[in-house]
Amino acid sequence: KPVGEITADMIDMLSKKSFPLCMQQLHSAMRTHHHLRHGGRQQYSLFLKGIGLSLEEAIKFWRSEFTKIIDGDQFDKKYLYNIRHNYGKEGKKTDYTPYSCMKIITTNTPATGDYHGCPFKHSDQDVLRQKLTASGLRKEDADQVLQYSKGGHYQVACAKMFEVIHGSLTGGDEEAEVSFHHPNQYFEESYKRLHK
Ligand code: SF4
């Protein structure tokens, strides 16, 4: 795991190249709205911690975006505790782990205005198609990913998207079924390939 290598200013670039679709969605919503609701902040901040973003860099990252619409004092009052808490620096000092795909898919269903969740499960098919196209997938590849999503195979859909972008996860064995169990697994597989 590339702990310590990841800084706040690298996240835009990493989100495009190495984030699974759920985290791309959270990142772009955050950049667009300069805010994320609690469910989104939890899912995204623990993921970022998992990719190796230090607490100092995490505070820099969230603060610089949120203070585009609120002032620094407000940020400190409303959001700092939560970020420090996720890093085990407040409350019971538990070192919280990033959410697995299963947790993201089966708990805390996103409502309107939320950007957390798994797009393969929670986005409707038209919206999902737009997202896949925006991520650079050709129509036939998007069709295949959408089929898995439609059939309820969300984690397989995610792995297929990975393979379209990065190449086979099974060393070319067409028969082997692949799926992701964790957003950080997607990141690590991608990061490894791009930084060999
Ligand atoms: Fe994120 Fe997992 Fe869904 Fe992929 S399958 S988008 S990693 S929650």
**CA-based nearest residue to 80, from 60, 99, 94:** 60
| Four-residue CA torsion sign, 45, 32, 158, 120 | positive
Name the closest-CA residue to atom 4, ligand 1. 158
Does the annotation place 101 within a ligand binding site?
Answer: yes
**pLDDT tens-digit profile of 11-68?**
999 999 999 999 999 999 999 999 999 999 999 999 999 999 999 999 999 999 999 9
> How many whole angstroms separate alpha carbon 22 and alpha carbon 17?
13
Percentage, residues of the chain above pLDDT 70: 98
Annotated binding residue 118: yes
Cβ of residue 185 lying under 6 Å from some atom of ligand 1: no
- Please say whether the beta carbons of 58 and 21 come within 8 A: no
Q: Which residues of the chain have pLDDT under 70?
A: 1-4
pLDDT for 4: 59
Nearest protein Cα to ligand 1, atom 3? 118
Closest atom, ligand 1, to C-alpha of 121: 3
SS3 call for 92 = coil
Tokens matching residue 68: 């585009």
What ipTM was estimated for this complex? 0.99
Distance 183 CA to ligand 1 centre (A): 6
Q: Ligand 1 centre and the CA of 179: distance in Å?
A: 9
DSSP, residue by residue, 139-184: HHHHHHHHHHHHTT-HHHHHHHHHHHHH--SSTT-TT-----S-HH
pTM: 0.95
- Pick the residue whose CA is nearest to atom 5 on ligand 1: 155
**DSSP codes, 97-108:** PPPPHHHHHHSS
For ligand 1, atom 1, which residue shows the shortest CA distance?
22
Distance CA 182, CA 20 (A): 10
